[in-house]
Amino acid sequence: MWPLTIDMVFIEKFTTKGKLYFRLVHTVRKGNTYIHKTKYIGKQRPSRARLTHLKKKFLK
């Protein structure tokens, strides 16, 4: 059963210089530390089909 791995990717909104942007975020635990991986996806939230494609590509 262990080690347990869960591939959970979520969308995070963030602002830089007053403008709104989106990025994919994946947090992975290795021992007692967490690794926070991000990928910029644009100024607009992608469609559901595009988001599924981006998530699969991001997790490779």
Q: How far apart are CA 50 and CA 15, in angstroms?
A: 22
Residue 29 CB partners (closer than 8 Å, separation 6+): 35
Q: How far apart are CA 12 and CA 23, in angstroms?
A: 5
For the segment 2-53, what is each residue's pLDDT rounded down to a tens digit?
A: 566 666 889 999 999 999 999 999 988 888 888 889 999 999 999 999 999 9
Alpha helices in the chain (DSSP H): 48-59
Name the residue ranges covered by the structural domains of the chain. 9-59
How far apart are the two ends of the chain, measured CA to CA in Å? 23
